[in-house]
Amino acid sequence: MSLEPLPPLRVGWIGAGRMGAAMARRLAQTGADVAVWNRTSSKAEALVADGASVAESIADLADRDVVFTMVSSSEDLEQVLVGEGGLLTAGGPVPSIIVDCSTVSTEASAAMRAAAQRHGAEFLACPVSGNGKVVASGKLSFVVSGPEEVYNRVAPLLGAIGRSASYVGEGEAARLVKICHNLLLGVVAQSLAEITVLAEKGGVSRAAFLDFLNNSVMGSAFTRYKTPALVKLDYTPTFTPVLLRKDFDLGLKAARELGVSMPVAALTQQLVQATIGGGRSEEDFSVLLDQMAAAAGLELKPETAEVDDGLGSGR
């Protein structure tokens, strides 16, 4: 994604969790005027050193030109936009454009788009592919839907945060694309866990197996990025099983509505659920590896080999 000069837009940001903070930080570091609100104010305050300012309330962002939202669920998005004290219900001005980067249902997105339009604001669905480390490395990807002319206005801001943005059409098209993406994410993660356990039980170290895989035609940015977690058994969360389950729920709901059979995704959903039922809900979804190893009677131990995550932070 080419980096054009940033437009002189005053930006508001709602949501400074793992993803939101990384994205707002990257934008603020370009010199953009970014004001951040988060329910836990200390998370917003942590971005002051990067050039952001802190909004005391959501209403303080209402006069901004563009407001980004990055929250955990459809319910959270509704709360920050149309709930008590929300961006669209504060009774004052509203931003010209709302850009929602959350992963939410198509129905919630459509409802928030309609609410924005009633109050005179444009709305873009703009979910992302990546996590905090991917953001920091400049490799985040966006998929965007809504009015194309509005997308063109904010494209330079997206370019300052990530490396690519794919415009896929009007309405909520981006929501379905992102859900399809996350269904593949879960299925690939499950398959990766299975084959890694198979190779190790046959006597091949995880580091050696994944080194081959990553350099083969089957390797990908995702398999390389997850390699350190699988080799070191480091399950520091970047994306939890609970969040992945939410996306599978959304994806399988869409499949039912559209009459699409997804047997592999349905099975993977149950395996993700098993990690949650087993008490691993707060760890990274890479714990699927432990689950497959336990089912195979294999005791995993951290390996000491140096491995590369493909993001410039490995060897």
**176, two tokens:** 């379905």
Strands 141-145 and 128-129: antiparallel
**Residue 139's closest CA among 26, 8, 291, 272?**
26
The span from the CA of 298 to the CA of 160, in Å, is: 45
- 66: phi then psi, degrees, rounded to nearest 5: -135, 135
Report the alpha-carbon distance of residue 261 to residue 4 in Å, rounded. 42
Which alpha helices (H) appear in 162-287, and where do they start and end?
A: 173-201, 206-214, 221-232, 241-258, 263-277
Estimate the crossing angle of helix 173-201 against helix 206-214, to 10 degrees: 130
The structure tokens listed for 90 are 């504060």
Q: Which two tokens stand for residue 277?
A: 């039922």
First to last CA, the chain: 26
Which residue of the set 43, 139, 178, 226 is catalytic?
A: 178
Residue with tokens 């309330």: 57
> How far apart are the C-alpha atoms of 276 and 285, rounded to whole Å?
10
In 3D space, the residue among 47, 65, 44 whose CA is nearest the CA of residue 55 turns out to be: 44
7: which 2 tokens? Answer: 């437009």
The closest of 7, 8, 15, 5 to 35, measured between CA atoms, is: 15
The one-letter amino acid at 297: G
Q: What angle do CA 136, 25, 153 make, to 5 degrees?
A: 100
Distance CA 293, CA 26 (A): 38
To the query of whether residue 232 is one of the catalytic residues in this protein, the response is no
Active site residues: 178
